[in-house]
Amino acid sequence: DQQVKQNSPSLSVQEGRISILNCDYTNSMFDYFLWYKKYPAEGPTFLISISSIKDKNEDGRFTVFLNKSAKHLSLHIVPSQPGDSAVYFCAACTNAGKSTFGDGTTLTVKP
């Protein structure tokens, strides 16, 4: 049973436009949700997070939205830049410290 799902394996957008990456989860006990970004031959790096008690968190060009009733979160990148091209992982964690990751979405931003 996959508790965190990213249903789109890939996404391609034009530079300057908005990128929207989606993530669904099944466990209502998750306390935090995070997005990580991964470049080839590197480990994932933390991008942005949101607590389960909030519905939006913004950091520069990156905004994460959480819809608890739908068990859905999304990452918006505005405006998208070619350097944003990477694999994006959604993760959900409990206070126990353990995170569950989605399979990732490969974002390609075309110049």
Partner 1 sequence: DAGVIQSPRHEVTEMGQEVTLRCKPISGHDYLFWYRQTMMRGLELLIYFNNNVPIDDSGMPEDRFSAKMPNASFSTLKIQPSEPRDSAVYFCASSLWGTETQYFGPGTRLLVL
- For partner 1, the binding residues (CB under 8 A) are 31-32, 34, 36, 41-46, 49, 89, 93, 96-104
Nearer to partner 1, 32 or 65 (CB): 32
Taking the complex as a whole, the smallest distance from the CB of residue 93 to partner 1 amounts, in Å, to 5
Q: Which is nearer to partner 1, 15 or 103 (CB)?
A: 103
Written as six digits, the tokens of 109 are 């931003």
Q: Please state the closest distance from residue 33 (CB atom) to partner 1, in A.
A: 9
Taking the complex as a whole, the smallest distance from the CB of residue 46 to partner 1 amounts, in Å, to 5
Residue 80: CB minimum distance to partner 1, A: 23
Specify the amino acid at residue 48. Answer: I
Long-range contacts of 95-103 (CB under 8 A, 24+ apart): 95/31, 99/34, 100/3, 100/4, 100/27, 100/30, 101/4, 101/36, 102/4, 102/5, 102/6, 102/23, 103/5, 103/6, 103/9
44 or 71: CB nearest partner 1? 44
Residues 6+ apart with CB under 8 A from 81: 15, 61, 109
Closest CB to partner 1 among 43 and 83?
A: 43
